[in-house]
A and B are shown apart, each in its own frame.
Chain A
Amino acid sequence: MEGYLLALGVLDSALRLAVPLTCACLAGLYSERAGVVDIGLEGKMLAAAFASATTALATGSAMAGLAAGLAAALMLALVHGFACISQRGNQIVSGVAINMLAAGLTALLGHVWYNQGGRTPALEGGARFAEIALPLAETLRAVPLLGPFYAEVVSGHPLPVYLALVAVPATWFLLYRTRWGLRIRAVGENPAAVDTAGIAVGRLRYSAVLACGLLCGLGGSYMAVSQAAGFLPNMTAGKGFIALAALIFAKWRPLAALGACLLFGLLDAGAIRLQGVILPGIGSVPVQAIQALPYILTVILLAGFVGRAIPPRASGIPYVKER
């Protein structure tokens, strides 16, 4: 029972670590499924984290923070859309630019506004999302196995966690069960066919890029006003890139994306606990090896040694209407 509770604790922290990854991963999924490669997920999350923390600090409201975070990420998404869709610029270059802009601007403004080396003062009370106890969590705790699982892992998370978890089936539904989703998938595979059918390729891609911005905003805001109590320079620390790895791992499918993000979250949660632990037969595993594991696994998968990850056919290619 003790071991079970310990495992639940790891699972709980894995879920929390997986939330920003899941948001960014789904964000990338919309964009890439529509044919726009986005390596600027990291930058959008960072901008959202900063905007949400500063707004939550100023207004004392976590919801206002979230709104500002969403707005900041949407702004950068529009920049990416303008460069990639309207101007047919290089999508990778645009993503790099957005990452740099976000890293520089957040640190610069944080430094000017708060004078604490780029970080915001700590958020307190209503400026952070409170943990929500789901109904009956305490009553059901006595139920063997499932009770503690429900009380420890499922219940007791702040709002953005549940929003992110709802976004997974919602994304699946939108992509596979709506007309918009069908068109999004089509425009990422064969934009010319979509164009021939009389549907505006650019407008569709913009809608996907904006959906990407919204989800990045959710992930970044969660990090600053829920997971942590404020903004730190470069606090996303490569999460946007791990999300790209998870996206490949999930082969651009929403439900698998959640799985991949949970796996990477579990690795992350495990790495913290495995530090200095000597495993039987292996010896002490360097914590860096576990941290590098998501990247190594992604490379192996991309290389096609285990399964094959094939991106949407038209992703990365700007659409030119007539030749």
Chain B
Amino acid sequence: MSPATSLPRWADVVLLPALNVALAFLAAGLVVLAIGENPLEATALLLRGALGHAEGLGFTLYYATNFVFTGLAVAVAFHAGLFNIGGEGQAMLGGIGAAAAALALGHLPGAVALPAAILAAALCGAGWAAVPGWLQARRGSHVVITTIMFNFIASALLVYLLVDVLRPEGMMEPSSRGFASGARLPFIHEAVAPLGLALPKTPLNLAFPLALLAALLVWLLIYRSRLGYAIRIVGANPEAARYAGISPAKITVLAMAISGALAGMMAVNEILGVQHRLLLAFTAGYGFVGIAVALMGRGHPAGIVLAALLFGVLYQGGTELAFDKPNISRDMIVVIQGLVVLFAGALEFMLRPALARVLQRRRRG
């Protein structure tokens, strides 16, 4: 690196990413301005809708749960130098697995049925991601393309299962029958009721603490375990990994499987926690939001939890904002996502030279 572009660590880790995200939101503000609305007013409405009352907060955390899972999924693959765009398909397979287990075991007590259904979600997601991983490791087919293809195949599979196999006789909507009570993950407002706490009814369920636990486990895996070290080495330099006796092929498959398991766990929140049946389009693009979340969180679980919360705020606040300001529809959230991915991802080093010059001048002066 030439001296003009070297930055102190704090600037590289905190300041530059923060500036990039700020730039993305500035651009989003310009979009709001262009459609004739006041960005500051919109932001205030959005924050009030997402955080201003207990019910809104519940919805915010429920959305964030999805994004923690899909964000962690993208990040784990990223650490291994792999770009997993297949979170959407892996979540669909997770939903299929969770639903299969829940439909088969729902009559059993929750202590048996729930862990089985959660495990099924993770395993199906893992399997759906491990195949592209294996194809990359052993056959040299690029994981980006294969995971895109697997998204479409998963979507066709889900439609087929719901329309032709799982739909109960006489029902119009393509969805499975509802799960028995044993396979329903309790809502938070139900779980805290015995403690004498009265929370408003929201879709927030026990998948939220599970997502936080997953973030902790991913941190331990990536930064504190032998496997995580191997994953990071392979991501940084596969050749060096080979010399160190690590098999990049094995790590590629493993990292993709872990990534897919996390994406599949998104179904735990949506299918086992909220819908209690398998239905079409439950992934709703959350798998792609994971890309924005992982980039914004710089691949670190703590950053991902924060970024997931921010996107939870955007989703919940954006929904309420669309009520008050019909011009700012929920599509605005997708625009913001795109801007975050652009500025915090593709253009992440755009501001680096300028920032380095500014900091250098300050140090000299």
Contacts and interface: CB of A to CB of B under 8 A. Distances in A.
A209 to B, nearest CB: 13
Scoring A100, A296, A299 by chain B CB atoms within 10 A of each residue's CB, the highest score goes to: A100
A96 B345 CA distance: 10
Interface string A100-120: 111111011101100000100
A291 interface: yes
Interface string B326-352: 011101111111110110011111100
Nearest to B148: A241
Nearest to B292: A100
A91 B153 CA distance: 24
Interface string A139-155: 00000000000000000
Interface string A297-319: 01100111000000100000000
- The 3 nearest A-B residue pairs measured at CB: A104-B334, A100-B338, A101-B338
Nearest to B345: A93
B145 A304 contact: no
Nearest to B139: A303
Interface of A: 37, 39, 79, 82-84, 87-94, 96-105, 107-109, 111-112, 118, 233, 238, 241, 244-245, 248, 286, 288-289, 291-292, 295-296, 298-299, 302-304, 311
Contact of B156 (A289, A299, A303): A289
Contacts of B7: none
Contacts of A94: 342, 345-346
A96 B142 contact: no
A150 to B, nearest CB: 35
A96 B145 contact: no
B111 interface: no
Contacts of A99: 338
A288 B159 contact: yes
Given A83-B347, A104-B331, A108-B331, 8 more contacts: A39-B85, A79-B342, A98-B342, A100-B334, A100-B341, A103-B338, A244-B145, A302-B135
B342 A248 contact: no
Nearest to A93: B345
A299 B331 contact: no
A299 B148 CA distance: 10
A286 B160 contact: yes
Given A108-B35, A302-B145, A292 B156 contact: yes
A84 B346 contact: yes
Interface string B135-148: 10001111011101
A289 B334 contact: no
Nearest to B32: A108
B148 A104 contact: no
Contact of B335 (A104, A244, A288): A104
Contacts, number: 151
A288 B142 contact: no
A292 B153 contact: yes
A299 B342 contact: no
A90 B83 CA distance: 10
Is chain B's binding surface mostly helix, strand, loop or mixed? helix
Contact of A92 (B144, B288, B328, B338): B144
Contacts of B339: 97, 101
Contacts of A298: 145, 149
9 contacts: A87-B350, A89-B346, A104-B336, A108-B331, A108-B335, A111-B331, A112-B36, A292-B152, A292-B156
Q: Which of A88, A101, A104, A288 has most chain B Cβ within 10 Å?
A: A104
Contact of B141 (A97, A104, A304): A304
A87 B347 contact: yes
B169 interface: no
Contacts of B286: none
Nearest to A302: B141
Contact of A93 (B295, B328, B349): B295
B35 A245 contact: no
A105 B27 CA distance: 12
Nearest to B34: A109
B212 interface: no
Contacts of B149: 241, 245, 295-296, 298-299, 302
Interface string B20-43: 000000000001000110000000
B291 interface: yes
A109 B140 CA distance: 41
B335 to A, nearest CB: 4
A17 to B, nearest CB: 16
A98 B338 contact: yes
Given A108-B329, A295-B149, A299-B141, A101 B347 contact: no
A286 B159 CA distance: 10
Contacts of B295: 93
Contact of A107 (B334, B336, B348): B334
Given A92-B83, A303-B135, A105 B145 contact: no
B139 A302 contact: yes
Contact of B35 (A83, A87, A112, A289): A112
A112 B346 CA distance: 29
